A and B are shown apart, each in its own frame.
Chain A
Amino acid sequence: MRADGIFGQAVDRIGGEPISARMARRAPIRHLDPTLLFATLVLTAFGAAMIYSTTASKQVEAGLDPGLFLKRQIAFLIGGGIILFIVSFLDYRHFRAFAPVIYGSAILALILVLTPAGAVVSGARRWINLGAFQFQPSELAKIAVLMALAAYLAERKGEVRARDIAISLGMVAVPSLLIFLEPDLGTAMVLTAVMSVLLLVGGAKIRHFVAIAFVAIIAIVGAIQLDLIHDYQIQRLTAFMDPNPDVQSEGYNLVQAKIAIASGGARGKGFQAPNTQTTLDFVPEQHTDFIFTAVGEQLGLMGSATLLGLFAFLIWRALRIATMSRDMFGTLLAAGIAGLWIFQIFINMGMTMGIMPITGIPLPFISYGGSSLITNYICVGILLNVHMRRFL
């Protein structure tokens, strides 16, 4: 059985009744993509194991529970699972109506985080304390921008005009600027990437991209001229081109990360093997942004390639769902999610391997962090949602 086309009206040549009509009579849950769900769980488990391996020895050294980070990640997984269920249960087409509300509340949260209500961690206001859990509004903003832009561009039905580009840019610029002020350059870049994918799939012309590139250059030059971008941010972004191994410098992370990954070799040194870069804690921020180094060192090329394969599978499913979606909104949502992931995967892994600049972008499903995991689970929920309702 296969569904043909995005807004497909394919006809079953034997029955004479449109397949879609027959499929539509079934409950959406019967059209679930179980492989996507399965891949998500495998990736999360993979990540949890890596989080444990990067935090256990440090926790033991500090006399704390070695499984603390693992347990917390599992708690996030459970929370994420519940939210995934809710998100996939409601028909995604209702999201179009909610999109402005979600977008608006995301903007409000982003403003709130810049007020004293926002918690400051290592110089950046990125979190809002919600009791035991710190919530990162910029993660919510990814979903909000995705939905709002998808909803807007779906209305254009593939005919994108200059005015639509301007509106899209505006819709991304407001949250991006707020996130940029936290400061969190990485997430602002993610939003821009999502927008680019949505415009690409949504029907923007080449000249539109040229115009966007032009605006982007002016914005970057302007930001540097107005000293909105700090020197340390520029140093971070350019450090990968000539990493300085000095402990105090940004390049230290890069050098240690590369050593960890490359020394893993083809087979890896083994999970929790003693005397590794991982267990001796040579890679800073290893359980969050630099978690891929633990994969590379402990599991080698085999483990790293497996992870890449899992990601490729996930993104293939997302793209497949984009092509199968019944409407443009679903297509754009799925494509946007694929863009969200591939951008983060490429920047994060590329950063640890020294071919991309250092930005605080987590590796989806693998890096430690509740907001990031839950956001990714929402994305999976949306994908499942679109997939389940491709006949309705």
Chain B
Amino acid sequence: MVTPGHSEPTFDRTKLRLGFFGIIILAAFIALFSRLWFLQVLASDQFEKLASENRIRDVSTDVERGRILDRNGVVLVDNRASQTFTLDRSLLDHPIREKRVLKKLSVLLDIPVRVFLDRLDNVAASLYKPVAVAFDVPKQAVKLVSEYPEDYPGVNVENRFIRTYPQGNLAAQILGYTGEITSDQLKTERFKRGYEAGDVVGRDGLELMYDGLIRGKPKLERVVVNSTASVVGKKVIQQPEPGKDLILSLDARIQKLTEKALATGIYAARQSYNAPDGAAVVLDPNTGGVIATASFPTFDPEILADGYSFKDQKLLGGVPEDDNQDDGNFNRVIQSTVNPGSTFKVATAGAAMATGVMGPYDYRDCPGALQLSDIVFNNWTSADMGTMGIPKSLEVSCDTFYYELGWEMENNWGAANGDGSEKFQDYLRTAGFGHPTGIDLPNEYAGNVPDEDWCIALARADSGCFDGWLPGMSVNMSIGQGDLLATPLQMAVSYAAVLNGGNVLKPHIGGGLGVPDADTGEEETVKEFETQTAAKLPLDDTEMGVIRQGLEDVITGPEGTGASAFIGFPLDQYPVAGKTGTAQYSATSDLNRAWFVSYAPANDPQYVVAVYIDQAGHGGESAAPVARQIYEGIFGIDKAVEAGSGSDVSD
């Protein structure tokens, strides 16, 4: 191939070959630049994130958690410093080394390796924060680890705060406990912001509900680490702020005697009945503040102080043959939903007056039995007690009186006989039934107000109500039987509303926040929580007055069902009013739920006391004496009650 003008034939060909080589070079440069563009322009943000993950670690240091105090400043939950061994996972990343260190620790502390592994494997524990594996380690072990750190790589000694309970198991079910946040908790709304793995938080009860307020602000440090994980820079991004103390509406003294009275009452009832469990609550009817709350059986909160599981808990007072709710953590005040029996008649009387089926001074018959449609409903006694008003009907606890009211409301507004507007149920929901009261405790149960919707849902689930809503359901409901279910707290709240002018209050245990004075150490309240009213009863003073009159007569009247329980009680000084309840398990069963819902002083109510004991005969027989004991304690009538509070109740 000879091109004119060029002496050598290879000239063009070499140029061509160099050109081809040039194209290859160009392609290489284009490839490099494209990749650069992709990394530095298109994917830069994503890699910048990886770069900061490389170097930035946020480390939080817990501050002392706020204490929990009763309304008088008695400390219920305190903190103490505990010498704790922690394991730094980044220094243990080699499995063989980890095993060796854990084995050494296990021998040193006499704790099985498995316990350490469980703690390390906890996904909720922070990856960067050392994991606490042993609390309250002996001094000797601390000394050994501090002196020979090379033998225990990754093991550190830290002072961690542990909850203590100066009042023992007092109010155990409501205080709750603390522990490292769980991965499930981290997903919840409450813990979404400001919390991270490894944080110690409230896991139940008040500790959980008020966590954000009493936890304080942990010291947050953002550290920059280099490739060998040594810290090269530090910045405090959140100054520590110790947690505020939670001041409760609870009164430790009354709490103590309430727990004791309940336990005494249950042990007494066990003479004749099963009486496996029970609950009692003392409520301030004017503020909704819970003054005392007892659930039996209970447990020892100290066991949970460092966040171990409930499996190891020590049950106090439980009976082995009890149902599956024998868990001491089960707070019956808000979680036991059962028939309230005759104590519910207050609500039915209120509903009858609110809906207008009867006026406050109207009368109804109280026959021994009442035939409604084709069903015969029996009173608790076969005797005909004649005609009576609301006060008398409460005093003698006439069932047929209330069957009649239930029947009338059903005929007017019921889903079966009436227009379906269900005004009876509407009133009950207003009075606080069928939904949680909104108390500041987790896992409160709603109870049940049966209505047509509930019936339809039940039938759809194939678990009952197969014939649809029946008029008899309203009749049964009127005396707190059938499918009407309520918690002891709901009963107390509904009674309080009749006493305070119709305010259905949102009960609360937390009353405010405080800080100890720096000099005197005395608690200073820095914030008081406001009383919240959930609803207002559609009743006037006269209507509520006749109900109160009836409740007073239960104790003082000649035929009062609660009178016998208060024989010898200085009612002239401390007038008590209330209502007994004896809810049957079923029409054929002789097992009864004993109830007594009451208040005192009757002329100026300061305390509502609701007592419930499962399988314990009559309310007046088993529950009312517990309330009496509580009142005696509150008013200081029987000194023996208080003096004996230190002794073992199981004697």
Per-residue interface assignment for chain B, residues 213 to 255, with 1 indicating a CB less than 8 Å from any chain A CB and 0 otherwise: 0000000000011111000110000000000000000000000
Taking the complex as formed, is B587 at the interface, i.e. its CB lies under 8 A from any CB of chain A?
Answer: no
Known: A203-B13, A312-B29. A263 touches B21 (CB 8 A): no
B36 to chain A, nearest CB (A): 5
Q: In the complex, which residue of chain A has the Cβ closest to the Cβ of B6? A: A5
Most chain A CB neighbours (cut-off 10 Å) among B24, B29, B55: B29
Residues of A261-282 at the interface with B, using a CB-CB cut-off of 8 Å, are 261-266, 274-277, 280-282
Chain B residues within 8 Å of A308, by CB: 29, 32-33, 36
**B21 and A335 contacting across the interface, CB-CB below 8 Å:** yes
**B47 and A258 contacting across the interface, CB-CB below 8 Å:** yes
**A280 and B13 contacting across the interface, CB-CB below 8 Å:** no
**A200 and B17 contacting across the interface, CB-CB below 8 Å:** yes
Q: In the complex, which residue of chain A has the Cβ closest to the Cβ of B15? A: A323
**B28 and A157 contacting across the interface, CB-CB below 8 Å:** no
Stretch from B38-46, B174-182, B386-394, B471-479 that touches the partner: B38-46
Taking the complex as formed, is A41 at the interface, i.e. its CB lies under 8 A from any CB of chain B?
Answer: no
**A265 and B35 contacting across the interface, CB-CB below 8 Å:** no
Query: Of B28, B36, B39, which is within 8 A of A305 by CB?
Result: B36
Taking the complex as formed, is B316 at the interface, i.e. its CB lies under 8 A from any CB of chain A?
Answer: no
Residues of B61-98 at the interface with A, using a CB-CB cut-off of 8 Å, are none
Query: Of A259, A328, A342, which is within 8 A of B25 by CB?
Result: A342
Bound Cα distance from A81 to B232, whole angstroms: 40
Taking the complex as formed, is A39 at the interface, i.e. its CB lies under 8 A from any CB of chain B?
Answer: no
Per-residue interface assignment for chain A, residues 279 to 294, with 1 indicating a CB less than 8 Å from any chain B CB and 0 otherwise: 0111000000000000
**B11 and A265 contacting across the interface, CB-CB below 8 Å:** no
Per-residue interface assignment for chain B, residues 147 to 181, with 1 indicating a CB less than 8 Å from any chain A CB and 0 otherwise: 00000000000000000000000000000000000
**A262 and B226 contacting across the interface, CB-CB below 8 Å:** no
Residues of B281-336 at the interface with A, using a CB-CB cut-off of 8 Å, are none
**B48 and A265 contacting across the interface, CB-CB below 8 Å:** yes
Total interface residues in chain B, CB < 8 Å: 43
Taking the complex as formed, is A201 at the interface, i.e. its CB lies under 8 A from any CB of chain B?
Answer: yes
Residues of B1-56 at the interface with A, using a CB-CB cut-off of 8 Å, are 6-11, 13-15, 17-18, 20-22, 24-25, 28-29, 31-33, 35-37, 39-41, 43-44, 46-48, 50-51, 54-55
**B14 and A331 contacting across the interface, CB-CB below 8 Å:** yes
Taking the complex as formed, is A350 at the interface, i.e. its CB lies under 8 A from any CB of chain B?
Answer: yes
Stretch from A141-149, A161-169, A224-232, A296-304 that touches the partner: A296-304
Bound Cα distance from A197 to B41, whole angstroms: 33
**A346 and B31 contacting across the interface, CB-CB below 8 Å:** yes
B41 to chain A, nearest CB (A): 6
**B51 and A277 contacting across the interface, CB-CB below 8 Å:** yes
**A282 and B21 contacting across the interface, CB-CB below 8 Å:** no
Interface of A is mostly: helix
**B225 and A280 contacting across the interface, CB-CB below 8 Å:** yes
Q: In the complex, which residue of chain B has the Cβ closest to the Cβ of A319? A: B22
Bound Cα distance from A265 to B38, whole angstroms: 10
A70 to chain B, nearest CB (A): 21
Chain A residues within 8 Å of B51, by CB: 259-260, 263, 276-277
Known: A259-B47, A350-B35. A280 touches B232 (CB 8 A): yes
Taking the complex as formed, is A361 at the interface, i.e. its CB lies under 8 A from any CB of chain B?
Answer: no
A256 to chain B, nearest CB (A): 8
**A201 and B40 contacting across the interface, CB-CB below 8 Å:** no
Taking the complex as formed, is A9 at the interface, i.e. its CB lies under 8 A from any CB of chain B?
Answer: yes
Query: Of A158, A262, A345, which is within 8 A of B14 by CB?
Result: A158
**A301 and B14 contacting across the interface, CB-CB below 8 Å:** no
Taking the complex as formed, is A7 at the interface, i.e. its CB lies under 8 A from any CB of chain B?
Answer: yes
Taking the complex as formed, is A349 at the interface, i.e. its CB lies under 8 A from any CB of chain B?
Answer: yes
**A275 and B21 contacting across the interface, CB-CB below 8 Å:** no
**A201 and B21 contacting across the interface, CB-CB below 8 Å:** yes
Taking the complex as formed, is A355 at the interface, i.e. its CB lies under 8 A from any CB of chain B?
Answer: yes
A291 to chain B, nearest CB (A): 15
Chain B residues within 8 Å of A5, by CB: 6, 11
Taking the complex as formed, is A315 at the interface, i.e. its CB lies under 8 A from any CB of chain B?
Answer: yes
Q: In the complex, which residue of chain B has the Cβ closest to the Cβ of A262? A: B47
Taking the complex as formed, is A48 at the interface, i.e. its CB lies under 8 A from any CB of chain B?
Answer: no
Residues of A309-343 at the interface with B, using a CB-CB cut-off of 8 Å, are 311-312, 315, 319, 322-323, 328, 331, 335, 338-339, 342
Bound Cα distance from A342 to B39, whole angstroms: 21
Query: Of B17, B37, B47, which is within 8 A of A203 by CB?
Result: B17
Q: In the complex, which residue of chain B has the Cβ closest to the Cβ of A245? A: B50
Known: A200-B17, A263-B44. A282 touches B10 (CB 8 A): no
Chain A residues within 8 Å of B227, by CB: 280-282
Taking the complex as formed, is A353 at the interface, i.e. its CB lies under 8 A from any CB of chain B?
Answer: yes
Taking the complex as formed, is A6 at the interface, i.e. its CB lies under 8 A from any CB of chain B?
Answer: yes
Chain B residues within 8 Å of A350, by CB: 31-32, 35
Bound Cα distance from A259 to B53, whole angstroms: 11
Query: Of A6, A157, A355, which is within 8 A of B35 by CB?
Result: A355
Chain A residues within 8 Å of B11, by CB: 5-7
Known: A200-B21, A280-B224. A262 touches B28 (CB 8 A): no
Chain B residues within 8 Å of A264, by CB: 40, 44
Chain B residues within 8 Å of A311, by CB: 29
Chain A residues within 8 Å of B46, by CB: 262
Bound Cα distance from A260 to B47, whole angstroms: 8
**B14 and A304 contacting across the interface, CB-CB below 8 Å:** no
B90 to chain A, nearest CB (A): 11
A391 to chain B, nearest CB (A): 16
Chain A residues within 8 Å of B228, by CB: 281
**B25 and A265 contacting across the interface, CB-CB below 8 Å:** no
**B14 and A6 contacting across the interface, CB-CB below 8 Å:** yes
Per-residue interface assignment for chain B, residues 578 to 603, with 1 indicating a CB less than 8 Å from any chain A CB and 0 otherwise: 00000000000000000000000000
Per-residue interface assignment for chain A, residues 341 to 385, with 1 indicating a CB less than 8 Å from any chain B CB and 0 otherwise: 010011001100101000000000000000000000000000000
**B21 and A338 contacting across the interface, CB-CB below 8 Å:** yes
Residues of A116-139 at the interface with B, using a CB-CB cut-off of 8 Å, are none
Chain A residues within 8 Å of B15, by CB: 6, 323
**B225 and A263 contacting across the interface, CB-CB below 8 Å:** no
**B10 and A296 contacting across the interface, CB-CB below 8 Å:** no
Bound Cα distance from A194 to B24, whole angstroms: 14
Bound Cα distance from A296 to B28, whole angstroms: 18
A130 to chain B, nearest CB (A): 33
Known: A201-B14, A280-B55. A262 touches B33 (CB 8 A): no
Most chain B CB neighbours (cut-off 10 Å) among A157, A201, A296, A345: A201
Bound Cα distance from A259 to B9, whole angstroms: 52
Q: In the complex, which residue of chain B has the Cβ closest to the Cβ of A268? A: B40
Query: Of A258, A281, A339, A346, which is within 8 A of B32 by CB?
Result: A346
Known: A281-B227, A315-B25. A335 touches B40 (CB 8 A): no
Per-residue interface assignment for chain A, residues 89 to 110, with 1 indicating a CB less than 8 Å from any chain B CB and 0 otherwise: 0000000000000000000000
B616 to chain A, nearest CB (A): 65
Chain B residues within 8 Å of A345, by CB: 28, 32
Known: A266-B44, A282-B55, A296-B39. A328 touches B226 (CB 8 A): no
Chain A residues within 8 Å of B233, by CB: 274-275
Bound Cα distance from A201 to B10, whole angstroms: 11
B578 to chain A, nearest CB (A): 70
**B55 and A275 contacting across the interface, CB-CB below 8 Å:** yes
Chain A residues within 8 Å of B35, by CB: 350, 353, 355
Chain A residues within 8 Å of B17, by CB: 200-201, 203
Q: In the complex, which residue of chain A has the Cβ closest to the Cβ of B39? A: A262
**B10 and A158 contacting across the interface, CB-CB below 8 Å:** yes
- Interchain residue pairs A-B with the least CB separation, the first 10: A262-B47, A158-B10, A262-B39, A263-B51, A280-B226, A265-B44, A301-B40, A263-B48, A346-B28, A282-B227
- Beyond the given A6-B8, A312-B29, A322-B18, please list 11 additional residue pairs across the A-B interface where CB-CB is below 8 A: A259-B50, A260-B51, A263-B51, A264-B40, A266-B40, A281-B228, A308-B29, A328-B14, A346-B31, A350-B35, A353-B39
User: Can you list 13 A-B contacts with CB-CB less than 8 angstroms, sorted by A residue number?
Assistant: A158-B13, A256-B54, A259-B47, A260-B51, A262-B40, A280-B226, A282-B54, A296-B36, A315-B25, A319-B18, A346-B28, A346-B32, A355-B35
- Measuring CB to CB, which residues of chain B are less than 8 angstroms from any residue of chain A? 6-11, 13-15, 17-18, 20-22, 24-25, 28-29, 31-33, 35-37, 39-41, 43-44, 46-48, 50-51, 54-55, 224-228, 232-233
